[in-house]
Structures are given as C-alpha cells and as structure tokens.
Structure 1
Amino acid sequence: MDDALRFVDITEDQLDAVMRVRARSFGVMAGGDREQWLKDARVFMQDGRYVGVADGDEVIAAARFWAFEQWWSGRRVPVAGVAGVVVSPEYRGRGVGSKLMRGVLQRAADKGFPLTALYPATTVIYRHLGYEFGGGRYRFSFPAADLRALGGKEIAVRRAGPEDAERFLELVGEAHARRRTSGPLVWPIKEVTSWLADEDNFAYLADDGIVVYNWSGSDLCVEELVAGSEATARALWATVGSGSSIADTVRAYISPDDAVHLLVEHEAHKEVQHQRWMLRLLDAPTAIAARGFAPGAGVEADLRLDDPDVPANSGDWHLSVADGSGELTSTQGSDDALVLGPRGLAGLYAGTPLATLRAAGLASGGSVELDAALDTAFTGATPYMLDYF
C-alpha cells in the first residue's frame, strides 16, 4: 500500500470530498438528505468521531462512529457504532479499507469504548479485523386485526410527545434490566426527544409502557414497544392494531423472544426481515466488567487471547464470573486455557455456544466442562437491535 496514504480527521473543507466518495458508494443523496447529512457530520467531527484516509490532500475513504451504549444481559456497555464506511472505487482492494478501519478501532479505543458494533456491507474485511456476528435486527409482520383483538381496555393510554423522552428512557431501561436483554442501543435523550417530536411518529404512553409507530406505505410499523405487564402489552399492541380498518398489516421491529408472539392468536407472517450486525471487543477487561451475566452462574476459567489489531487484549487472562458479574484479570499462562482470537471472543461475548465456535475454528483448548459453564454464564435471550445506523 502507498506510504503516502494517511489516516486523518475529517475537517469541514473535506466534507464535499467525502460526499463524492459516498455518492460512488451509496448513491447520490436528495437535497434535504444532504443538509441533514452535513449537520450530522459536523457533530461527529467536533468529537473526533469522523475519520478518513487521504492520498496527499485528497480524502479517499471515510467512516464515523456513534457514541452509544448497548444492553448486555441487562447492563449498559459503551459501544462505538461504526457507520458510513466508504472507500473511493479506484482505491478498493488496495488495503485502504483496512487502514481506515484499524484507525477507527484505535480512535474508538482511545475514546474509552470497550465495544464496537456495525452492520456490515461485506463481512470479509470486518472479519479480518476481528469482528464477528453479535445478533440480528428482526422485523416481524402481524395481521392488524389480530393485534386489535388483544384487548387491554382497562389500561389507560395517552398520547406521548417530546416532553416524555425521559420517561421513555426510564421505561425502556427498566424493561431491559428486568429481562436481562442483550443488544438494543441506548440513544442520547436529545435524539429520543427529536424522535418523539417527529410528527410522522405516533407515540402512546401507559403507566408502565410506551409504543412508537408510524406509517410504512399502506402498513403500520412499530419502531419500539415496551410494557411492564401483560395487560399493558395488550393495550399498546391493540392501540396500534386499531388502525386495522385501513392497514391490513403491522410490521414490528422486536425481539424474536417478544411476548407478542405468545399473545396473538395467529403466528407472525412467514416472511421475516433479518439483518445481522457484528461485534468486536476493544478493551476485554472493561467489556467483561460492564456486562451482565446469568444470575447464579459461577465460572473460573483461564483464557488465552490473541488479538493482533488490539494488542492490549492479547495475553493470558483469568475470567471469574459470580453473582451476575464478571472480571477479567491478567494471569500466568495455563496449559488448559481456552484459546480465542478476537472473532471467537466477540462470539463468546454475544452468547454464541462454544461448540459452535469450536466447529468454526474460533476456539480451542479448554474442556467440555468449561464450555458448559461458559455457555451458562454468557448465553441468554437472543441479542437483537431495533435500530439501523
């Protein structure tokens, strides 16, 4: 690769060049979308979260990352959500994308993110850099009339707006902590306020639940629904389903484990949209300490990690899990340690069974007994996201 290529922070005077590269990657934006893109880009630039690769003075690749938190087994873990990865066509296949993403990993680690996640346009480059599948984004479809019939009329439901953003975040947090959820993102309150202020979104609030939905063509689409009880779940789904005289179908971004699958009389339509996202650990000890683990699970295990792109993760470690919490500490090498690379570590963190990781060549060493204990500690409900970024 050309030594003249440099990893750079994107600046105001380079945004036109980035937009040209983006147009060659994703297509030309409409006028209104361009203004929003520029507004968002300046926010990322101010915090050092918009970076690129330049050949001389010309920007030829760029990427940005969101400052999110993500739920893992009912606890919030900071995560850098990588998005907008673009490389100019004439530079593809020359190592530019890898140079860009290695810079992103280092920048995100420098900013204190123990995890990074993304939706891959291709898995090849990201797997070479240590990412592996962490979960999915699922969209199910239900007959609107089935939802309308769920009842819940005894539950008071009112319209919600931007002034309810703080309560929205409280309800979502309570639900994910209670259910030990893995995967959903925690958006900043400013973004939630703007979302609830959008007149295209319809939000309704109960004492222990909230729903936000909108029109998607001739269908209704649920973007998020949380409920603290069966009665509230029925009331909120029935509120959406009340549009059945116009909309035949309700699409819903939800977990495959959501209770609505057990509440509706008929199963969801067979056509399920599923987008997979990838995960990577940038700071293994911090990521383990921040994550929740299965209550009652106890594990003492030696791990040997080999992570060439994040050397701080490499080495011999001892993992201790007890009382729903974990700790990863440096230790002396052990002949019976479980050996993982960054992809295997990401898979384990996301709850992928050790037997699957071994079958893919992503784990070795250890023992059958250790595998069972680690599976118990790490595995829970299916990791999922509601948002595409």
Structure 2
Amino acid sequence: MTELRVVDVVEEQLDSVWEVRIRSFGPGGDRDHWLKIARASLEDGRLLGVVDGDELVAAARIWPFEQWWGGRRVPMGGVAGVVVAPEYRGRGVGSLLMRAVLRRCADKQYPLTALYPATTVLYRHLGYEFAGHRYKFSFQAADLRRLGGKGTAVRKAGRADADLFLKLAGKAHEARRSSGPLIWPRTEVESWLEDENNFAYVADDGFVVYNWSDGDLAVDELMAGSEETARALWATVGSGASIAKTVQAYCPPFDPIHLLAEHEANGDTQINRWMLRLVDAPAAIATRGFPDGVVLEADLRIDDPELTANTGDWHLSVADGSGRLTPTDPSSEALRLGPRGLAALYAGTPTAALRGAGLITGGAADADSGLDAVFGGPTPYMLDYF
C-alpha cells in the first residue's frame, strides 16, 4: 500500500467500484440499475471511496432516507454497498471508509444512520448497534383469498399514484406510532409503480405492492387504514391462490394480518437484523416521537469517540410526546453510555438488557423505568432492504 485516501467517487471510477463490488458480493445484479443509483449518488456526495495511489479499493453509498421513529419522520443516512477489495481487508480500510461515512452523514445533517451489516465487528467498533428487524412471513394464499372486503373499492395503481402512496403510508405510520420503516424518495416509488413486474393496487385508505417470486406471490408492502381495506387488499393478493399456494409478505410481527388470517404464518419466518447509530444526538431526540402522557427528566453522560459533538453531559427532557437533549452540568446520577448503548436505547431496547451487556451504567435509582417508558413501544422494523 502507498497512501490510503478517502475520496468522493467520480464517474470515471464507477467501473472500479463495480469490479470491487463483484469481488465482494459475487456476480449478479442489474448493472444498469446499479449505475443509475450510483450516478445519482455522485451528484451530492453520497458515494465515497478509498484509493491506494490511483487505485480504488473500497466504496460505500449513502441513501437520503427518512425513517419513522415514534410516529415521526427523522432524516437518516442509509449506508449501503460497503465493499472492500479482498486484498485490502483486515488492514483498516473499512474503518477508514466508515469513519468518512459518519462524517459525511454529519455534514448532511442526518441525525441517524442505519445499515444491514455483513459483519457486526466493524460497525459495533464504530458505534452501531442492533435496533430492529426485517420480517418475512409466509401465509397460505387460500387463507388470504377468503378474507373478504368485497365492499371496498380497489383499483390498479400506477406511477402517478406515488405521492398518494407516500401520503397513505405516512398517515398509517403516524397513527401506529411506527418505528423503523423507511420513507423512500418519490422517484424510487415511481420506479416501483411503473415496473411491469410489480402489481400495485390502491383503495381510499390503503395500498399493496406485490409480485411473483419463484412460483409464490411476494408482498413488498401493504398498508391499510381500516379492517375492511386490509381484508380487501390481502384478498386481492390471495386471489392468485389457484396458481400460488404461498404468499411471502414483508410486514411487522404485530400487523393485523396475523389476527385476520385463519391459520398462523408458517414456521419458516425469515428475519434480517439492522443496526442504528445516532450521528447528532440532540437532533435525533428532538425529531423523534415519544408516547403522549409520559414525562421524564434524566441526566446522561455520553462518550462518543468517533463523533465528539455527542460527547458530554446532557439533560434529557420528555413531555407532551416530544423530547429535548440539552447540555448540562456533570451529575453523579447521570446514566453513562456510549454510542452503542445510545442507539439501542433510542430503539427501545430495555434498560435491563443494556445493563446486562454493560452498554449503560450508573444513573438514578428510579431512572430505568422512565427510560423504558419513553423509548419503548411497538417493535422497530423495516420493510425494505437497501
């Protein structure tokens, strides 16, 4: 190695990024689709690389997401496509790259960053921790077909319905106080809706997007604001039961379909775990939703070696569904935690589990129950892989 440097990837380096990607993930994938996404990422500095001299040896991309937390939208940098050439692994290249990614997320004012890890060692070392899951359940198609909902009007959807889909999803996530689901850029939603391989239907208060997958039907997303709409949309998918015996569905473990379907989901549920990190702790608290009627005053001591703006003594105040994190004087009763503990707490991991893992220490004697109350709630989940 000569001198390793972090750079903003330019158009001329995309072939090199693709080559490292193939060597990292194996052959396959739609290169034209990847290039479309990569070029869009070049325009505003969301594709970073590491070069050794003139040779590109690693790269990572940042998605400009928003994410629901407690029923409110929080800007989030979704880290994807982290690749390091095989001959450079184990030499600190990944850490160099990801530290640059964290700084770029801070520059772009993302309070949060999240990713699906290929390995936990690197990301935990840099302050990420598990925050939630992506669930894939299997249902009997015939069960869904019998759900009814015939009194609800359902029509085929297309590209022009992208804004409507985002509006309906937002309304549902606010009502459910969801934590974890992504808010994709409208251009991506338009792309899904004009893809001939996807089938999209919409009702007054809900929608569904699904497709064929290895002889089964696969639901990418189904949102419904009422029981009748849920029944109608699931029955629309289940209408393919004469061909597809099984419907694979991405949905949370508390989705109403688990209560509506006559038979429980098959036992082969697939779960992917994703990790979270707070980039700007005060902004992450200020933009997150909290339960109404819960009040908390607590002192925190955060030690963040990678993003030092988070380090310090803070006072956490939660009331009326909102929170604030403000600088304060040191306190002997402050809860001490690093970025991993902070991320896990933010995602609702019980304080007892965090103490058992040594991710939080200290704190006032009665603080744990209050922290569990303000950060707890429905299980965080994602519907999408990025």
- Pick one of 285, 291, 295 that aligns with 1:294: 291
Name the CA distance, whole Å, in 2 between partners of 1:235 and 1:29: 37
Looking at structure 1, the residues matched to 27 and 143 of structure 2 have their Cα atoms a distance apart, in angstroms, of: 40
Q: Is 1:73–2:70 an aligned residue pair?
A: yes
**Deviation readout 1:142-180 (Å, 9 max, x if unpaired):** 000111111111111111111111111110000000000
Partner in structure 2 of residue 255 of structure 1: 252
Where do 1:298-337 residues align within 5 Å?
Answer: 298-337=295-334
- Residue 49 of structure 1 pairs with residue 46 of structure 2: yes
SS of corresponding position for 1:42: helix
What stretches of structure 2 of length at least 5 have no aligned partner?
Answer: none
Equivalent residue of 1:243, what SS? coil
Spell out, residue by residue over 1:285-334, the C-alpha distance to the aligned partner (whole angstroms, 9 max, x if none): 00000000011110000000000000000000000000110000000000
Q: 1:368 Cα deviation (Å)? A: 4.2
Is the 2:134–2:271 Cα contact (8 Å) retained in structure 1?
Answer: yes
Give the Cα–Cα distance (whole angstroms) in 1 for the partners of residues 13 and 243 of structure 2.
Answer: 47
Per the alignment, residue 20 of structure 1 pairs with 19
Gaps of 5+ in 1: none
Could you tell me which residue of structure 2 aligns to residue 40 of structure 1?
37
Task: Output the TM-score relative to the length of structure 1.
Answer: 0.98
Distance (Å, rounded) in 2 between the aligned partners of 1:335 and 1:96? 39
Match of 1:243 in 2: 240
Which residue of the partner structure matches residue 351 of structure 1? 348
TM-score, L = length of structure 2: 0.99
Q: Does 1:372 align with 2:369?
A: yes
Instruction: State the alpha-carbon separation in 1 of the partners of residues 209 and 35 from structure 2.
Output: 27
Structure 1 moving runs of 4+ over 4 Å = none
Query: What are the residue-to-residue correspondences of 1:215-226 with 2, within 5 Å?
Result: 215-226=212-223
Aligned-pair CA distance for 1:29? 3.6
Aligned pairs, number: 386
Aligned residue type for 2:194: A
Asked if the contact 2:2/2:52 (under 8 Å) is kept, the reply is no
Q: Which amino acid aligns with 1:63?
A: A
Any residues of structure 2 matched to 1:117-132 within 5 Å, and which? 117-132=114-129
SS of the equivalent of 1:245 reads: coil
Partner of 1:11: 10
**1:135 matched residue in structure 2:** 132
How far does residue 364 in structure 1 lie from its aligned partner after superposition? 0.3
Aligned equivalents of 1:29, 1:18: Cα separation in 2: 14
Deviation at 1:16?
A: 1.7
AA matched with 1:69: E
Taking the aligned partners of 1:113 and 1:169, their CA distance within structure 2 comes to 20
SS of the residue 2:36 aligns to: helix
Looking at structure 1, the residues matched to 81 and 165 of structure 2 have their Cα atoms a distance apart, in angstroms, of: 28
The aligned residue for residue 103 of structure 1 is 100
* Match status 1:174 vs 2:148: no
Aligned-partner Cα distance in 2 for 1:225–1:35: 28
Counterparts of 1:356 and 1:368, CA distance in 2? 16
1:188 aligns with 185
1:383 Cα deviation from its structure 2 partner: 0.4
The answer to whether the aligner puts 1:58 opposite 2:55 as a matched pair is yes
Aligned equivalents of 1:189, 1:15: Cα separation in 2: 25
